[in-house]
Structure 1
């Protein structure tokens, strides 16, 4: 498996700017999803992914040369595995927001950068550093702070389904970020097709589980289109560009700001009620993410990714 190492001579600000754009757009997801409450989560996911597929079509970079064809196994992973990850990430995200408070589900969902770091470090080094384990413990303790009241009040009930779906979405996003670093797969160039396949998969699941419903209102439809063009369109391309940056392993640290921004947007919009647990949990998630991203001794993550390239 080979990871991207860009040979472009673009400004070092390009990768950081792309990652910042993706982070801001992703932080808007809980707020936008709250505006589409009348639409079932899978139906909203299918519409958003379809809008993302159409929106990324002109933005995807045209191939300047003919790439070597994907091996059969890689083709299955790219055109079936990656759309399934996108379907799981987006569908679980919207479903979580309907079963649990959006601000709480969002904080659990946005622990995915820590999961991404743990998975990539394990694949590269075959072990986890002490800083990664401590950081993961801090981040997950922030998520646990939100789950604890439910556990003490009524056991496995209430918003637990939303919490579990948010955790599933976090796993899917972490695995997608790993896939985005595989150079031969060129997910950014294939993004319109991947989003379209994910939309078909999610739409099929919606018809099977949610049935046929009336057409949404124009306002809700515009929210779905905004989700597709922004967080699941432009942001996906921007994140792909950031991950292909030579310093992508550092630029990706900007993703740790997503839970704080998402919570801030919800509170400012009046969707979430300020609660002492929210800032404390946000601080734990961000502190844990930053601690986990501290480079291990003797070479750091850059050396680790170079080893992964040669594997």
Structure 2
């Protein structure tokens, strides 16, 4: 598999994450940890089928236990921190801090062997961050700023960026291992649901369809394709391109009639596109 092919596969995760907000709204009123358990259960089942047909389930036995622990902490830890942060402070500031992870991926990638962090990567990441900030900060919220929420949001960003970059160091570990991450996260999320939440199921066909779509795409297959991109693709370019997720997510909500188009959205589009272009240009210089 070429570097560019792996990068394209990794970017497909960003495209799937663009549907996360719309499908999450459709899955209401399912509480977060129950939703996480259901979706990761679906994603894990897909992973089992894919693994059985491709490399065979035996490949899962070749993965070191500590890598399974690492991956489970990454997936479950990120979502647990994210959900808790938004419970304490469901506002734009929390969202912006949580979405520092693409910038951190770009910066942390400079610590990896055979990777060179260029000025274009940093500048592109900062410009794209400004575009993402316009989208997040334009969302209205009546909730007061919570310092614990901001702290958890930062830990959330740190967790996902660290998971993504460290995955690069385990490039020889098959991406089928994500199957176990998903299943373990589903179990832990279920335990968290039983301990902290009241059970509420999806409403009708739209609700159940949204949960199924989440498990197939944004909270399922996306983690497998992201793993391939992180291990074999252009990690700096993927980091900057990840800022397209909040932009595309907002565009999807606009298309669905849930959000309205604004001037700020247009400016954010230009900034994120410019940032990604700068990063792509920097990556082309090898």
Quickly name the TM-score band, shorter chain normalised: 0.7 to 0.9
Of 160, 169, 186, which aligns to 1:199? Answer: 186
Of 22, 38, 57, which aligns to 2:29? Answer: 38
- 1:248 aligned partner: 234
Q: CA deviation at 1:119?
A: 0.9
Q: Name structure 1 gaps, 5 residues minimum.
A: 1-9, 303-311
When the two structures are superposed, what TM-score results if normalisation uses the length of structure 1?
0.70
- 1:86 aligned partner: 75
Q: Deviations over 1:258-281 (max 9, x none)?
A: 232111101111222333333334
| Aligned residue pairs, count | 281
Of 130, 134, 148, which aligns to 2:123? Answer: 134
- 2:41 aligned partner: 50
Matches for 1:11-30 after TM superposition, within 5 Å: 14-30=5-21
Q: CA deviation at 1:163?
A: 6.9
Matches for 1:1-311 after TM superposition, within 5 Å: 10=1, 14-60=5-51, 61-62=54-55, 75-76=65-66, 78-93=67-82, 100=90, 110-124=99-113, 130-145=119-134, 157=144, 167-183=154-170, 186=173, 188-211=175-198, 213-219=199-205, 220-245=207-232, 247-249=233-235, 252=238, 254-291=241-278, 295=282
Deviates more, 1:156-165 or 1:55-64: 156-165
Q: Do the aligned residues in 2 keep the contact of 1:15 with 1:251 (CA within 8 Å)?
A: no
When the two structures are superposed, what TM-score results if normalisation uses the length of structure 2?
0.75
Q: Aligned in 2, Cα 1:160/1:48: closer, same or farther, shift over 3 Å?
A: farther
RMSD: 4.2
Q: Aligned in 2, Cα 1:65/1:224: closer, same or farther, shift over 3 Å?
A: closer
Q: Deviations over 1:229-265 (max 9, x none)?
A: 11222222222233344x5347636434323211110
Deviates more, 1:255-264 or 1:44-53: 255-264
Q: What secondary structure, in the 3-state scheme, does the structure 1 residue paired with 2:213 have?
A: helix
Q: Name structure 2 gaps, 5 residues minimum.
A: none
Q: CA deviation at 1:223?
A: 1.8
Q: Do the aligned residues in 2 keep the contact of 1:114 with 1:292 (CA within 8 Å)?
A: no
Q: CA deviation at 1:80?
A: 2.2
Once residues 34 and 59 of structure 2 are traced to their aligned partners in structure 1, the CA distance between those partners, rounded to angstroms, is: 36
Q: Do the aligned residues in 2 keep the contact of 1:42 with 1:95 (CA within 8 Å)?
A: no
Q: Deviations over 1:150-209 (max 9, x none)?
A: 99x98x816988776665544333223213323366251212111111112222222222
